[in-house]
Structure 1
């Protein structure tokens, strides 16, 4: 079985946040002591880790969502519905163009809420899931 990696989509606002935090960090570092500048450097590092530490992988029958380089595995055969959505829910993604994934078994997510992720190529991602599990309803 082959692995396919899908990068996370990153919207313009995430780049804007990173540039803003970098500007604030530089302004604080120029005009203050190291102990004042370190927390803002931490926020900038957090934003960078958020951007590079999020991607998605389809590995056999597993959907693996990496957030902060930490994998979360979900069984593809338990997916009941996949649909394209737009929204600003706080989930594993930095784009408002998302994919909402509902599972047939509530124990997978330990709730009734769908998994919302933001792969860069949503159409290819959804068709790949559909190849593995043809029972998925596309909404």
Structure 2
């Protein structure tokens, strides 16, 4: 059975992305209108928002797949997960919120950092597949 979890999305992140793409377009619109400039900035905004709203985490059998927008899908063996820890790390990650979890694997030094909307359901689903996963809740 396949279970899909969407990423948790922080509204402030959407505002920052829109701000960083809309503010540079103001001079293009006011002083020297250019369809090329408007098109480039609109494409950048589209790609950024598409990536955020299409980030998802899929559990299928013993594989965790992480899809970030239209760019990449990475797969991980759930049986290699050792522990999961709450984090608010700002490291670049396929996570659209700072309410994140760090997933530590047996053969990796760097954790996978993600932000599923249903964090507890996601962790329980992983633990149902691999009961050896330890969840270190910070609350």
CA contact (8 A) 1:9 1:119 kept: yes
Find the counterpart in structure 2 of residue 51 from structure 1. 52
Count residues in correspondence: 133
Correspondence list, 1:9-28, <5 A: 9-21=8-20, 23-24=22-23, 27-28=26-27
Structure 1 residue runs of 5 or longer lacking an equivalent are 107-111
Find the counterpart in structure 1 of residue 100 from structure 2. 98
Structure 1 residue 23: Cα displacement: 3.7
User: In structure 2, what is the Cα distance between the partners aligned to 1:19 and 1:105?
Assistant: 38
Find the counterpart in structure 2 of residue 133 from structure 1. 130
Find the counterpart in structure 1 of residue 118 from structure 2. 121
Structure 1 residue 82: Cα displacement: 0.9
CA contact (8 A) 1:8 1:120 kept: yes
Structure 2 residue runs of 5 or longer lacking an equivalent are none
CA contact (8 A) 2:64 2:78 kept: yes
Structure 1 residue ranges, 4+ long, deviating more than 4 angstroms after superposition: none
Structure 1 residue 62: Cα displacement: 0.3
CA RMSD of aligned residues (A): 1.8
User: In structure 2, what is the Cα distance between the partners aligned to 1:35 and 1:23?
Assistant: 15
Structure-2 change in CA distance of 1:66 and 1:118 (3 Å): same
With normalisation by structure 1, the TM-score equals 0.86
With normalisation by structure 2, the TM-score equals 0.86
CA contact (8 A) 2:57 2:67 kept: yes
Find the counterpart in structure 1 of residue 63 from structure 2. 62
SS at structure 1 position matched to 2:9: coil
